[in-house]
Every structure is written in C-alpha cells, then in structure tokens.
Amino acid sequence: MRGHTVAVFGAYGHTGRFVVAELRERGFVPLLSGRDADKLQALAASHPGLDVRSASVDDPASLDRALDGAAAVINCAGPFAATAAPVIEAALRAGIPYVDVSAEIEANIDTFTHFADHARAARTVVVPAMAFYGGLGDLLATTAMGDWTAADEAHIAYGLSSWHPTAGTRAASKVSRQRRNGRRVRYTNGRLEYRDDAPPTLEWPFPAPMGTRTVIGEFTMADVVTIPSHLSVPEVRTYMTADAAKDVAAPDTSTPTAVDERGRSSQTFLVDVLVRSGGTERRAVASGQDIYAVSAPLAVEAVHRILTGQTRTTGVASAGEIFDAPDFLQALSAHISLEPRRE
C-alpha cells in the first residue's frame, strides 16, 4: 500500500499531526484537509510536497473535492458530533473507507445507528473510535475474550499518569455534556443508562509497577459503544485513575507538552482489561506513552489493514469486530507493550 493517498481531515490538530507523521512513516501519502486554510498552509510548510485541500462540513462539494483521488480518509476533526456524519457521507459518495478517532460516545452511537445499512450496501468500511479510547479497549477486550462468544462483564481500567487535555478534547467534552444535559452515563443491563448521581470511587489493582490506585468508577468512555457493538457483554464498565480525572476536569490544566523527537508528551498509560464469565476471569494489559500519539498508529494500522483486505466484515464496525484483534495489537509492538493474556 506504499504510495496510497490517505486524506486526513483535521490534519493540523494535535492528533491529526501525529496521524500525518505516522502515515508518512508507513509510506502513505497524506492529503492535508480541514476547515482552517491558514492552519493547513502552516502545516504544509513542514511537509513540503503534500497536497492541501481546505474543506468544510457545511459544504459537501468541498468535502468531495478534498477526498478526490484518496484511497481512504481518517477524520481527526472534533467535535465529531459535527464532523463525523458529513465526512462519512463524503467517503460513501467517494466509495472509500472511513476511519475516525472519536472518543465521543454519542457521536459513535450516531455512526452505528445512521450509517450501518448505507455502508454495508456500499460494500465499504466505516470504523469509528479507532483510537486510544474505544479502539484500544475493544481490541484488548476482544483479545481477552479469546474463544468466548459471550461474557457477563467487561471492565476497562485506565491507568494514566496524568491527563493534559487538548483543545479538541475540551470542545468534545463540552458537546457531550450538552447532549447529556449534564448527566453522566454508564452501560448496564445491555444498554446505556443516564444518571445524575456522582460516580463511585474505588481502588483498582493495576499490575506492577503501577499497583493499586484510586480510580473513578463508571468514568465512561467510548468502549461502552465499541465493545457491545459486537460482543455479547451486558455490563461494560470503564475506570480512570483519580489523579488523571482531576487533571482533565480542571479548567486550567495545560495542553500536552512534547518531550521527545516524535512530539509525545511524558504521559504514560496502562490499560487493564478484565472480562468475567461465571467464575472465570481473563485479562489483557497494554501500556505505552501518550494517549494522543498512540491513536495515530492505531488509526493508520486500521487503514493499512482495510486497504490490504485484512478485514472480517463490511459496513460500520469497531476495531475488535473488523480486525484480528491479537494480531492487530502485535503489529503495534513498537508503540504498545502487551502483557500475555492471563486467566
């Protein structure tokens, strides 16, 4: 697939820049697109020779021009409540696969709800939440399940050393809060439940070297959309280390600061996934650096597999359904460290 052009909508954003760099490293040709022509030109200055096409979600013709000649599109422009549907529609018109890095629960639900039939009929692929939240947890849960076709519970515990949110994260969070009328959400009894009470606080036994940490229970992320979309698990719970939750909630927490040549921050993560069926438990664990940076290899590996025919279905599908989850994770060994699956 070397030399294939991949459009990146929102290419100048924090995650978009990581995606552009990862595409170039993998031999793809990024096509830089987004709503702000000045920011696109500034980005293009550091990537000489790349095509630049400004486009707006309010102008379908501009999106069609932006995707012309592309083999696939990766949408990195949030809030995805505003961008996902128009860019998916443009991808379907162009007959190319669509991948996004949305962590917005409601936007991801909208994608499954509104585009499943259309994408399947077009025999193309739409993969939402192909990022740290939603994608990685789904791949780990699917890997942990192994030969199980169903489980009673899935628990995804996020051990973040800190969480310095980007402007995009803050904007997306604001939209999600508005759509929920300020309520929080959890996935229980096979459905989403909206609540007004405070989430529980508990201790989670992360593996060494992190060890047991205080976490916010029912700190609900996009995994509650991706995992139940293809796995029969009526209870899906996600947890966040309390210090990281405090960081992202504070209005004055700074944006990420680069500490290495790849532009990654010093933030580290450990994702501990536990699935339970009856009295048996299975686990899968992944660790790495910078949740925004690691979303780039997740999204780009997805595009690579789609374009090389390494997929299991068409239509709208999450990472764990459309890809061979254990093999996908192994392919990211340069970015994500995996512990062997435990029972």
Residues 275 and 140 in one domain: yes
CATH of the domain at 126: 3.40.50.720
pTM beyond cutoff 0.75: yes
Q: For position 121, what pLDDT does the model report?
A: 93
Residues 251 and 167 in one domain: yes
Residues 219 and 303 in one domain: no
Is residue 341, in this structure, part of any structural domain at all? no
Residues 259 and 316 in one domain: no
Residues 269 and 166 in one domain: yes
Is residue 270, in this structure, part of any structural domain at all? yes
Q: Among residues 299, 252, 5, 270, which one has the least CA distance to residue 140? A: 270
Token pair for residue 242? 């309390």
Measured in residues, the chain has a length of: 343
Q: How far is CA 275 from the centre of its chain?
A: 20
Residues 285 and 137 in one domain: yes
Residues 144 and 267 in one domain: yes
Residues 20 and 56 in one domain: yes
Is residue 83 a contact partner of residue 172, using CB atoms and an 8 Å limit? Answer: no
Q: For position 339, what pLDDT does the model report?
A: 87
Residues 46 and 117 in one domain: yes
Q: For position 2, what pLDDT does the model report?
A: 57
Q: For position 342, what pLDDT does the model report?
A: 65
Is residue 340, in this structure, part of any structural domain at all? no
Residues 138 and 120 in one domain: no
Is residue 97, in this structure, part of any structural domain at all? yes
Q: How far is CA 211 from the centre of its chain?
A: 26
CATH of the domain at 217: 3.30.360.10
Q: Which residues of the chain have pLDDT under 70?
A: 1-3, 340-343
Is residue 331, in this structure, part of any structural domain at all? no
Residues 306 and 283 in one domain: no
Is residue 334, in this structure, part of any structural domain at all? no
Q: Last residue of a domain, which of 290, 306, 337? A: 290
The total number of structural domains that make up the chain: 2
For 69-101, what is each residue's pLDDT tens digit?
999 999 999 999 999 999 999 999 999 999 999
Range(s) of the domain holding residue 50: 5-131+295-325
Is residue 186, in this structure, part of any structural domain at all? yes
Residues 203 and 109 in one domain: no
Is residue 14, in this structure, part of any structural domain at all? yes
